[in-house]
Structure formats: structure tokens, C-alpha cells
A = this chain, B = another copy of it.
Amino acid sequence: MEAPRRITLNDIARACGVSRATVSLVLRGSPLAHVDTRRQVQAEMQRQGYVYNRAAANLRQRVSTAVALVINDLSNPFFAEFAAGVDEELSKKNYVTLLGNSNESSSRQRQVLASLMEHNPAGVILSPAEASDSADIEFVIGRRTPLLVFNRVLVEPDALSFEYDFLGLDNRAGSRVATEHLLSLGHRRIAFYGGHADSSSCRERRLGYLDALKGAGITVDESWMIETAPTRLEAYAHAEALYERDFVPTGAVCYNDVVALGLMQGLTRLGRHPGTDFAAIGFDNIPEAAVGVPPLTTMNADPRARGRQAAELLLQRAANPSLPHRSIVVPVQLTHRDSTPRALVV
């Protein structure tokens, strides 16, 4: 029943009484083929249900039309949006996305990358698992395949010269603006909630938070910064940590949106009322932030646009390997919504 073998250029050529080379020309719309020949060949392809084998063509041409995309956490809408943006841009440029999900595990990340590398991608877009080490990544990716790292920088054990392009958010400035926003609303006891300190984006966001508090003449204690895994569930589960200290915060700068949403839900569970008696601000602007209860004030990073941008940057490098390596830091803007009320008590 299942047709025994796939239709190839040879089948079409034979049926039309021309050579493979001619069919190949038609395939790529070359003007070298006579218009009648072209018509005939196209009709025959249609008739036999010919499907181009791009893998074979790529092998011969020593090129690749695939890009590997390895994501640390596909269940975070920020990264799901990013992935959708990458895929959108790649398919517009007739590339195909090889997907891998590391689930924040650097050993899975290594496996996944190694497996994708065997498919000879034109490049790799990596949103690294926490604490990914650059030597590790270099070992598996090698130096001939362009790499674009998104969002977090890699840990460089020995300040090696492993080079890659980088696309990230202006975490420090963004977090400073977020913190200043709470300060401007009269908040003084402000926590930094969520994230792991060994992720570069978290460290940078903490610095921005500290910048703002110092700027306001507020002395900060280490204990004002609370670590959680960067997930909604963990943020939800650890909400009480805010109340296990000397003072009670009236607001929190959160590591990202899913953490902020989880925290607000955790606070509600504890009988608090975020948006009324507590101010929470996020980072990312995932689609859901706009429709939260209350809607979430956040720093807009437009993850889908970042995905498109990442794909574009990678393809530029793939087209021109001698380009100097770029490190692009995208500014983020405050998007004010209802989750950040004025401080009731100062």
C-alpha cells in the first residue's frame, strides 16, 4: 500500500525525457530552461507528487537551512513567545527550526545540543540553562557554527576567548527603573523577589535594584533579596518568605513576570491584597501580564520581537562569519498597570 520509494528528480527527468540537470534548473526557476520544458516538468512534478529533498541539496551545496533553537524553559510564556518569534522569522527566511528544551538542566542542554549539531545547523540560538559554562558549550558546538546566546551570559571559567553573539535585555537599567517606580509611589521597604543569584540576568537585575535604593539613600540588607526558582509555582510557594524578616515590605521588584504573578497569587493565599496593600512589579511583559488580577506593572521586553531579532542576528552572522561579534542589549520600558499602588503607610 505505502508507495515503495520516494519520487526523485530522476523520475521526473525520465518521465519528461530530459536530464536531471534540466529538472534541477526548473526547480530553482532558472531562466536557462525553456519555458515549454519548464511547464512540462512542473506538470509532471505535480502529477507524481514530487517533494524536494532539501537535505540532499544542502549536502551537495554544503549549506544548511536549519537553525537549532535550545530553550531553557518552554513552559515559561516568556520563552514560548521568544521561540514563536524565532520560528516566525526563520520560516519567513525559509529556514527551519530544530527545537530543543533543556528544562534548566545543563546536562540535558549538552545532550540536546550534541544531538542537534549532528544535523549540521547553520547556527545555534541558545537561551542557556542556569549556570551554563562556556567551555562546555564550546566543546559541543565547536567554533565553526555561529552561536547566538540569548538572555543570560555564559559562565566563563577562565576568561576564555570563546566568542559568540549575545542578545539580552538591559537588566540593570530596567530593574533600576522598576525600583524607582516603586520609590516614586512612596514605597521604602522594597524586596527583590525571586530568581537564582547564579543566573546573570538575576544578578544584573539585583544590581539595578540596589542602584535605585542607594540612589534614594536607603541602606539595603542582603536579606531583602529572596531567592526562588524562576517559576510561577516556586514564587507562589515561597510568598511567606517576605514576612520572615525584621520589617514588612510594602512592595517587591520581581525577577520576572511569572515570578510576580506567582507571588501575587501567593500573597492572596496569605490574605494580602496585591494591587491594594502591596505593590509588585514584574519584568518581561508576557501577554498574560496585561490581564492579570490586578494587571501587572512590568518592564516591557516584547519577547516575540526578541525572538525575531535573535533569528535575524544569527542569520546575519551565518551569512557573514567575519563580522565582529556583537553584544546587543535591548532597553526595556516601564509599562504601568494596577499591580503597583501608592504606598499606604510610609
Contacts and interface: CB of A to CB of B under 8 A. Distances in A.
Contact of A87 (B1, B88, B101, B291): B101
Interface in A114-140: 115-120
User: How many copies of the shown chain assemble into the complex?
Assistant: 2
Contacts of A98: 66, 96-99
Interface stretch (A73-81, A167-175, A195-203, A328-336): A73-81
A84 B292 CA distance: 25
Given A87-B100, A98-B97, A322 B1 contact: yes
Interface in A48-85: 49, 51-56, 58-59, 62, 66, 69, 74-75, 77, 80-81, 83-84
Nearest to A83: B74
Given A2-B143, A111-B91, A291-B262, A119 B66 contact: yes
Nearest to A292: B265
A47 interface: no
A232 B100 contact: no
B87 A80 contact: no
Interface of A: 1-3, 5-6, 49, 51-56, 58-59, 62, 66, 69, 74-75, 77, 80-81, 83-84, 87-88, 91, 94, 96-101, 103, 111-112, 115-120, 142-144, 232-233, 236, 262, 264-266, 268-269, 287-288, 290-293, 321-322
6 contacts: A53-B118, A80-B80, A87-B101, A96-B119, A232-B291, A265-B291
Which 6 A-B pairs have CB atoms at the shortest separation, nearest pair first? A99-B99, A54-B118, A80-B80, A97-B99, A236-B291, A74-B84
A232 B5 CA distance: 46
A318 to B, nearest CB: 11
Contacts of A83: 74, 99, 101
Contact of A144 (B6, B54, B55, B66): B6
A224 to B, nearest CB: 24
A2 B118 contact: no
Nearest to A88: B101
A285 to B, nearest CB: 13
A115 B91 contact: yes
A6 to B, nearest CB: 7
A316 to B, nearest CB: 15
A51 B142 contact: yes
B55 A120 contact: yes
B81 A96 contact: no
A119 B131 CA distance: 34
A321 B100 CA distance: 27
A55 B53 contact: no
A115 B101 contact: no
Contacts of A80: 74-75, 77, 80
A242 B80 CA distance: 31
A292 B266 CA distance: 9
Contacts of A117: 51
Given A51-B117, A74-B80, A87-B100, 4 more contacts: A51-B118, A51-B120, A75-B77, A233-B291
B112 A91 contact: yes
